[in-house]
Structure 1
Amino acid sequence: MAKRPPPSATGLPSREQILTFIAETPGPVGKREIAQAFKVKGSDRIRLKQILKDLDIEGAVERRGKHMHRPGQLPPVVLADIKRRDRDGELIAEPTEWDADEHGPIPTIIISVPHKPRPGSPVPGVGDRALIRVNPLKAGDLHRYAGRVTKILEKHRAQVLGIFRSLPEGGGRLIPVEKKSREREIQIQPGDEGGAQDGDLVATSVVRHPRVGLPHAKVHERLGSVKSEKAVSLIAIHTHNIPNAFPADVQAEAERAEPATLAGREDWRDLPLVTIDPPDAKDHDDAVHAVRDEDEGNPDGFIVTVAIADVAAYIRPATALDREAQERGNSVYFPDRVVPMLPERISNDLCSLRPHQPRPALAVRMVIEADGRKRRHTFHRIMMRSAAKLSYQQAQAAIDGRPDETTGPILDSILRPLWAAFDAVRKARDQREPLFLDLPERKIILKPDGTVDRVHVPERLEAHKLIEEFMILANVSAAETLEQAKSDLIYRVHDEPSLEKMRSLSEVLASIALKMPTQGPVRPELFNRILRSVEGSEHQLFINEVVLRSQSQAEYSADNYGHFGLNLKRYAHFTSPIRRYADLVVHRALIRALKLGKDGLPPDTTRAELIEISARISAAERRAMAAERETNDRLIAHFLSDRIGATFEGQISGVTKSGLFIKLDETGADGFVPASTIGADYYRYDDKTHSMRGERTGETYRLGDRVQVKLVEAAPVAGALRFELLSEGQFSRKTPSGKGARGPKTVSPDRRITPRVKNKGTRKRSA
């Protein structure tokens, strides 16, 4: 704990004392903790609040909800990778997630390992990923920490994934697919090929690191030809160490599970709940129902019911199924496969809310007023029977006047009341004004043989929004109920954007002659004003993406600091326990708090355990997002690899010293134009205007500019595209040296397909 010097003569701590206290105090620090530490009382609390606000504006501290920390300071519990040993043999770790651009150099964590570990305590090693409790080694030092491993999440696997290249004399070379691999090539000795053919994607075990020459590895698994798109998702699965095969004891436990009975449940089998999901959904974990409220005290109100599959009835704490689900954290979705959190016996059978079959569920019944505000709610453990399984398109078509044989009989009794309730609910949503981002969600469609057919942007329907809003209501209800019961829980939290990201956004807006609104606090409404100002313009999609990038990353936390994007004070994930472990924890907490059974959260569960689970599943979520993104990049690179030389329309989505990033309109694919190939000039990067500007001509390429490019290289394994710029930049009235106006540039008639000529001058280009 930090030392607590006496307050200054004014009765308030100095800025330096506050910053020192924040840096040295383990655990969350907010205004309350500072006031207690320095005995600030009465009207001085208002002045303290202003000091803290000033420190935040200046960037001297960063906020996470009501808590503060020094910029670049690690939280008390951090997910980290153990990288190496130092000269003294101490293990050195680095945080798994670290934004060097925002926080500066990556900090190091020196791990303390006892000489005689207690039985059962984790024994870390190089290559492990672990949860670590940290404290700064010295007061105010944000770069070096002492750490203690509390849980090892992934043990080091001496495995490398790569492309096998055979040699005439036998054996071969492995070309690792992971971009961050230390080894350029690995040697495969004759006899260690494992049946691999030239060009195969293989998994290898590194068996020897000789002092001289290449490392040696042995092929232990063939994953198929890299030319097959079906192998692409396997690259992400292996490089990110995503568990994709259930252990035997987990499968056996799932197979032994018996269907839940009506015992201890309310019988809601006659309530016509329906599921509305994507047409290719295999499991259905949520069902909805709405009816007019007959209570005269709630005129034109509704009763909305959301029922969620009761996964807690089958996945008990501390079982093999539970441990595996926690390790996976969530299901991972690829275009060609799903890596589920739970075995199919649970996710696609016992817990899937199939039509006309009894299924256990945890339901919330919410009373909604005519203006969409929730008046009250209650939770129930039930047995239900879905009246129909609908797709979003099917339900929407029925409401739009095109019912089919499934939706026709339930149109007036079930679907129209759902839409009427949604009309009320969205009034409250519009009044709350969450962040309204309008970004197309591209979906890769595969052919039966696994190759890419096309990239499709599904239409955004009211049916999608209906389910989203009802799920948000249910999630808020879960958080409110657990808070009222004074139960610890895992929140879904989303912090407001950092000051640095707000400054970057302001610079981007200025580069296209837009001004950041300055009135009032940072709220979603501020960003919505920006988005409305570009609606219908050429910058609409680009600014939506820039605003998205300016946001903090949502995560799971045992501390509640609200959900900025949804503009909600409390929010917890409750509605998808089949595919998210956080939701299962919330279900168990509700069961225990409301005394709905004996299979709730164990009574000895500590807040420290929930903190560790939150860190673990947040990391699993980021791992899944990275794997899904990389797989899509590789698939699109495969898709475009036979279109070398083709031209595409796009937009500059990023500008760096090394070149321009281009996002294509057609597929949403991202590619790169190296700075050395831009044109016949020496281009300097301007970080304030996010542009590249020709030193001699003044030709400028800015973030957000529309451009035409030619594809010159596609690297499917790396998921990378390289373009040649065909479009000209913009020209200022004066040259950078201020030597007067510049005449119009002469362009040949075939300019749009003729490669630009690289500057033949002798001056070196800076990196």
Structure 2
Amino acid sequence: MSRENDPFRDGGFTREALLEAIRLGEGRFTKREIARSLALRGDAKIALKSALKVLETDGEITRTGQKSYAIRGGLPPVTVVEIVDRDVDGEMLCRAVRADGDSPVIRLAPGQGKGGRRESALGIGDKFLARLEKDGDEYYASVMRTLGQSAHRILCVYRETGRGGARLVPVDRRTKHELIPAKGEGTGAKDGDLVMVRLASERAHGLKTGAIEEVIGSADSPRAGSIIALAEHGIPQGFGDAEEKEVRAIKPVTAKDREDLTDIPLITIDPADAKDHDDAVWAAPDDDPANKGGWVVIVAIADVAAYVQGGSALDKGARKRGVSVYLPDRVVPMLPERLSNDLCSLREGENRPCLAVRMVFDRNGNKRAHRFLRGWMRSAAKLSYEEAQAAIDGKGTGKAETLKKHVLEPLWGAYAALQKARAVREPLEIDAPERKVRIGEDGSVIAVERRERFDAHKLIEEMMIQANVAAGEALEAARTPLIYRVHDEPGTEKIEALSDFLPTVGLSWARGERLTTKRFNQVLERAKDGPHYETVNEVVLRSQSQAIYDTRNLGHFGLNLEKYAHFTSPIRRYADLTVHRALIHAFKLGRDGTTDEERASLQVIAEETTSNERRAMAAERDATDRFIAGFLADRVGAEFEGRITGVTRFGAFIRLSETGADALCPVSRLGREYFHHDPSAHALIGENTGATYRLGMTVNVRLSEATPVTGGLLVDILTPPEPGRKPMGRRKGGRPPAGRDRGNKSRRRR
């Protein structure tokens, strides 16, 4: 670099000082924050931009997002990692929990993911101590020890071994070591019972011993799936003595100093089986002559901050849990039932405190104004999505029909305007069907159904989005720190994988063009009505980043929004409660707003809540897997239609059309020849014939194994592979790095 063109000299800082500022930022500092750290002013900020480019070109730093920087570096051979995503082929992607800011790719080594080994069932949100091996630019993680349930209390299955002996087998499918019941501990348990065990000894040799603290019931019982999932992922259950004491002492809030909304017919629209109602809506034409055709919308949210004071036992417990967890047969709430289902639930016909936002939209759905207020409301009705939709469709009955003209039709009128603005904004429109597991009174599965999605769902969703946007805009305008809900744009590697995949189904992706939601939507539209529509939706979804909580505003790529903060569900999400307190503080709506201590901890809270959310998602997914496996257990041998949704080194994942469950066909059961994974073709390809099982292929399968206690489904693919040309040689990536595919190498080729 010439003396005349030295950005470090021009900026008045050294190369070492800039690197140290980036290192201190731990991968979260943007250019503005780096400048603040170095106390740069004026022209020095211009020089900073050039200096960052120099360091990036020299390979000393890397971008961790679109706007932040980190020191480039490797990873230690042993570290804690978290599974954060899947690639387009369905392989698990991880990140180091305590990385130095750089984010090299970490893939789960073959045989370590769900279905790869009997004891393995890792999924997104799981953390584990990993041994890392590097192959080129990629790392592969092998599981050393999972970090879910407590190290001292373990959920086990009590197994009798004959002659009075017994073993305690951990239900965590990734734990290989059994325990021996401590002397006299087996008397209360029967063979096959789930038992909560406390480690009783740490012996130098042989199996450890465990003291049985609680006999829960048979591992074969219908509800065991939820119990195991909660224990595996370390989901906190119940409430501490201090929390129980505080909740018993709570006195209902009064209307004092609150804006009276009781004459406004706000209503709740929720799933038919919902027990907590934290949001209510109302709309009416705007009577302002300057806003002809416009609408006024009020979104009222349960005022949890009025009952859960910062720093209290209830607050600490809610922060620890982070979110409510929704399993097929139960809910593990973030807040005690007296709050979540009573005092903070916007019950029909009962007065409740709320934090509300009044928004004004023009005829095209563009927001003209918003105002936050602390209100006193009375829900005019509790409707289900089905009831509200039926009334609008002219098939209403009961109270939904009586509310149609004066309440529901204005809501739909406002929604029609919001749809216009949404169409212009064009958020990502992925069609990802959800399935609901219906549970009977005895806890067994009655049916697995596809959730219907009505305009009523979309109406509530859009009004909640607008309220969340208003919260983010209001707090940013007030210069009040907050936790955003952010969704970064997809990373380069995922986009490259997507552009490689699309030609295999007759579609294309132009490399190098700016990423926009519109481009993704165009791909989805071209795939519509074709045989690969579901697969393209799945692959586009997998190409996206995961949404997180953060105090930095990176925007929300999927919704195509610049400012977005979760405001609408403080009963079940701790991040929303922090936003409520920030609004109360910013607009002087009471004395129970954000404290100085909470304000200083917002980034830590954001990271904790993101982790807790992923933990909850992992438990929900695993519990659902177990319930469906139990539902299918008596259908072993039956044939099903499915679609290949993932191809990995150890086999193909097939989503069964009937239930939406994911089953594994190990590579060893694909045929007589060896099938290897070709990442570029997104397929498993026969080594001798080139016969191919590709991502998205529709297949018929036979269920060979369904194991409720693990949630695992194994199938044999009955559909012949697609014909192919005999490979000239193994493609790059066909085999994993040496030493990590012993399972493949030792398989009998049938």
TM range (shorter): 0.7 to 0.9
Q: Tell me the CA shift for residue 466 of structure 1.
A: 0.2
Q: Tell me the CA shift for residue 695 of structure 1.
A: 2.0
Q: Tell me the CA shift for residue 704 of structure 1.
A: 1.1
Is 1:167 the counterpart of 2:161 in the alignment? yes
Distance 1:291 1:576 in 2: 23
Is 1:253 the counterpart of 2:246 in the alignment? yes
Q: Which amino acid aligns with 1:318?
A: G
Match of 1:730 among 722, 734, 738: 722
Q: Which amino acid aligns with 1:718?
A: T
Distance 2:54 2:344 in 1: 48
Q: Give the structure 2 partner of residue 751 of structure 1.
A: none
Q: Give the structure 2 partner of residue 630 of structure 1.
A: 622
Distance 1:402 1:448 in 2: 30
Partner of 1:465, secondary structure, is helix
Q: Any idea what the Cα deviations from partners look like across 1:421-466, whole Å, max 9, x if unmatched?
A: 0000011111111111101110100122111111111211000000
Partner of 1:464, secondary structure, is helix
- 1:184-195 to structure 2, matched below 5 A, reads 185-193=178-186, 195=188
Q: 1:645 to 1:35 in 2, by over 3 A?
A: same
Match of 1:205 among 198, 203, 226: 198
Distance 2:694 2:57 in 1: 31
Check conservation: 1:13, 1:38, Cα contact below 8 A.
no
Q: Give the structure 1 partner of residue 555 of structure 2.
A: 562
Q: Give the structure 2 partner of residue 691 of structure 1.
A: 683
Q: Any idea what the Cα deviations from partners look like across 1:472-517, whole Å, max 9, x if unmatched?
A: 0001111111111111111111111111111122222233232113
Check conservation: 2:668, 2:747, Cα contact below 8 A.
no
Q: Any idea what the Cα deviations from partners look like across 1:655-699, whole Å, max 9, x if unmatched?
A: 112111111111111111111111122222212111111122221
Q: Any idea what the Cα deviations from partners look like across 1:240-268, whole Å, max 9, x if unmatched?
A: 22121112221221122111111111111
Is 1:94 the counterpart of 2:80 in the alignment? yes
Q: Which amino acid aligns with 1:559?
A: R
Q: 1:620 to 1:194 in 2, by over 3 A?
A: farther
Is 1:703 the counterpart of 2:692 in the alignment? no
Distance 2:85 2:525 in 1: 30
Q: Tell me the CA shift for residue 600 of structure 1.
A: 1.1
Q: Give the structure 2 partner of residue 64 of structure 1.
A: 65
Q: Tell me the CA shift for residue 98 of structure 1.
A: 6.4
Distance 1:339 1:418 in 2: 32
Is 1:181 the counterpart of 2:172 in the alignment? no
Match of 1:447 among 440, 444, 459: 440
Q: Tell me the CA shift for residue 357 of structure 1.
A: 1.0
Distance 1:62 1:507 in 2: 24
Q: 1:255 to 1:462 in 2, by over 3 A?
A: same
Q: Tell me the CA shift for residue 519 of structure 1.
A: 6.1
Q: Normalising to structure 2: TM-score of the pair? A: 0.84
Distance 1:103 1:577 in 2: 30
Check conservation: 1:711, 1:722, Cα contact below 8 A.
yes
Partner of 2:237, secondary structure, is coil
- 1:647-662 to structure 2, matched below 5 A, reads 647-662=639-654
Q: 1:696 to 1:167 in 2, by over 3 A?
A: closer
Q: 1:213 to 1:309 in 2, by over 3 A?
A: same
Distance 1:289 1:563 in 2: 26
Q: Give the structure 1 partner of residue 342 of structure 2.
A: 349
Q: Any idea what the Cα deviations from partners look like across 1:330-369, whole Å, max 9, x if unmatched?
A: 1100111100111111111111111111110011000000
Q: 1:107 to 1:483 in 2, by over 3 A?
A: closer
Q: Which amino acid aligns with 2:199?
A: V
Q: Which amino acid aligns with 1:306?
A: V
Q: Normalising to structure 1: TM-score of the pair? A: 0.83
- When structure 1 is superposed on structure 2, of 274-283 and 407-416 the one drifting more is 407-416
Match of 1:275 among 246, 265, 268: 268
Distance 2:535 2:51 in 1: 36
Check conservation: 1:65, 1:562, Cα contact below 8 A.
no
Distance 2:55 2:423 in 1: 32
Check conservation: 1:435, 1:565, Cα contact below 8 A.
yes
- 1:205-224 to structure 2, matched below 5 A, reads 205-224=198-217
Q: Tell me the CA shift for residue 532 of structure 1.
A: 1.0
Check conservation: 1:493, 1:560, Cα contact below 8 A.
yes
Q: Which amino acid aligns with 1:736?
A: P
Match of 2:471 among 469, 478, 482: 478
Match of 1:374 among 360, 367, 390: 367
Q: Give the structure 2 partner of residue 148 of structure 1.
A: none
Q: Any idea what the Cα deviations from partners look like across 1:540-580, whole Å, max 9, x if unmatched?
A: 11111111111111111111111111111111111011111
Q: Any idea what the Cα deviations from partners look like across 1:5-36, whole Å, max 9, x if unmatched?
A: x996424469x989956863435333445678
How many residues get paired?
682
Q: 1:38 to 1:341 in 2, by over 3 A?
A: closer
Partner of 2:714, secondary structure, is strand
Q: 1:666 to 1:301 in 2, by over 3 A?
A: same
Stretches of structure 1 that go unaligned for 5 or more consecutive residues are 1-5, 75-82, 87-91, 111-128, 132-141, 144-152, 739-761
- 1:327-338 to structure 2, matched below 5 A, reads 327-338=320-331
Q: Give the structure 2 partner of residue 134 of structure 1.
A: none
Q: Tell me the CA shift for residue 229 of structure 1.
A: 1.8
Check conservation: 2:325, 2:333, Cα contact below 8 A.
yes
Match of 1:543 among 519, 536, 541: 536
Check conservation: 1:419, 1:466, Cα contact below 8 A.
yes
Q: Which amino acid aligns with 1:94?
A: V
Q: Tell me the CA shift for residue 59 of structure 1.
A: 12
Partner of 2:223, secondary structure, is helix
Q: Give the structure 2 partner of residue 573 of structure 1.
A: 566
Q: Give the structure 1 partner of residue 581 of structure 2.
A: 588
- 1:608-619 to structure 2, matched below 5 A, reads 608-619=600-611
Q: 1:29 to 1:176 in 2, by over 3 A?
A: same
Distance 2:420 2:446 in 1: 40
Q: Give the structure 2 partner of residue 24 of structure 1.
A: 23
Q: Tell me the CA shift for residue 287 of structure 1.
A: 0.4
Q: Give the structure 2 partner of residue 158 of structure 1.
A: 152
Check conservation: 2:182, 2:200, Cα contact below 8 A.
no
Check conservation: 1:659, 1:675, Cα contact below 8 A.
yes
Q: Tell me the CA shift for residue 159 of structure 1.
A: 1.6
Distance 2:692 2:61 in 1: 35
Distance 1:721 1:31 in 2: 49
Q: Which amino acid aligns with 1:702?
A: R
Q: Which amino acid aligns with 1:261?
A: T
Q: Any idea what the Cα deviations from partners look like across 1:606-642, whole Å, max 9, x if unmatched?
A: 6541111111111111110000000011111111111
Stretches of structure 2 that go unaligned for 5 or more consecutive residues are 10-14, 101-124, 128-137, 140-146, 730-744
- When structure 1 is superposed on structure 2, of 645-654 and 188-197 the one drifting more is 188-197
Is 1:10 the counterpart of 2:16 in the alignment? no
Q: Tell me the CA shift for residue 55 of structure 1.
A: 5.6
Distance 1:638 1:53 in 2: 58
Check conservation: 1:362, 1:380, Cα contact below 8 A.
yes
Q: 1:763 to 1:175 in 2, by over 3 A?
A: closer
- When structure 1 is superposed on structure 2, of 555-564 and 393-402 the one drifting more is 555-564
Partner of 1:64, secondary structure, is coil
Q: Tell me the CA shift for residue 155 of structure 1.
A: 10
Check conservation: 1:299, 1:369, Cα contact below 8 A.
yes
Check conservation: 2:22, 2:34, Cα contact below 8 A.
no
Partner of 2:382, secondary structure, is strand
Distance 1:196 1:525 in 2: 59
- Identity within the alignment, %: 46
Q: Any idea what the Cα deviations from partners look like across 1:37-91, whole Å, max 9, x if unmatched?
A: 69897799599579859969999733424213356789xxxxxxxx9xx9xxxxx
Match of 1:641 among 617, 633, 636: 633
Distance 1:53 1:418 in 2: 54
Q: 1:287 to 1:52 in 2, by over 3 A?
A: farther
Check conservation: 2:278, 2:571, Cα contact below 8 A.
yes
